[in-house]
Amino acid sequence: MLTRYCLVLTPDRSCRTRPEWAYHLYAALLERAPAAFGVQVHEGSISPVSQYLDRRGGKLIWSVTLLGAEAEAALGPPLEEGEPFYLEKEGILLRPAKVEQNQIASPEELLLRAAGAGRHVLCFRTPAAFKSRGHYQILPTARLILQSLIQKWNGCFPGCPIEDEDGQGMEAMAAGLVCSRFQLHDQVYFLKGSAVPGFVGTMTLDNRLSGFHRELAGALLTFAGFAGVGIKTSLGMGGVTHHTER
């Protein structure tokens, strides 16, 4: 199960907002969760939370996806209660108001949502990046996107993992996802005193696969709109919106 919350945040004074505030919001949210959950998050290899902050239609939107029942139990209540979040470093109080809640009960529901879609549009709303052999990769490819999403999928749906020990399934899917349009540019994300290189913009992938590979690739790309893409999605990077075109 995964649940996405979208909240409008209203600052208590006029200010210039930054996507990096998402990191501080995440820390504040974890402080309201049971202590055992915070320990689990820091010790786990895959975070059960993906979240990011951006502006849409003049409003400051905080999108938080809880990947799994444990995350929902721990963080759902503090997100629902509507208590303000105080960003100490900036000296700003943010008052939340929930505007949307979207839940996916099972992997099968993702397969149904993607059924029949031949074209997937990914909009990277906060800087996204990948890491390979200790180096940042800021040129997205279908292979890097799928690799990231499969890892997140297996962390979110341990009862229904994508098993691909030799990587041939992922390679086959990547070969059948063709980039037909893109409008991307580089943008850094400032995190813990460091500038992490990344990219933002839109990318359109045409699904030219057939059979189950087509269905699974579509479900994974739909999943991107919940889980994000790339590294540090729990800290505000790699925030993605997704829609399809027939």
pLDDT at 45: 67
pLDDT at 47: 85
pLDDT tens by residue, the chain, 246 residues: 899 999 999 999 988 899 999 999 999 999 999 888 888 887 766 789 999 999 988 899 999 999 988 999 999 999 998 899 999 888 999 999 988 888 998 899 999 988 888 899 999 999 999 998 888 988 999 999 999 999 999 988 988 999 888 889 999 999 999 999 999 999 999 998 899 999 999 999 999 999 999 999 999 999 999 999 999 999 999 999 999 987
User: Alpha-carbon distance 221 to 138, whole Å?
Assistant: 19
Q: How much is the pTM?
A: 0.93
User: Alpha-carbon distance 225 to 65, whole Å?
Assistant: 9
User: For the chain, how many residues are written?
Assistant: 246
pLDDT at 35: 86
pLDDT at 186: 96
Which residues are registered as beta bridge partners of 183?
A: 202
pLDDT at 39: 81
Contacts of 114 (CB under 8 A, 6+ apart): 120, 215, 218, 219, 221, 222, 244
142's tokens: 């279908």
Check: CB of residue 47 under 8 Å from CB of residue 236: no
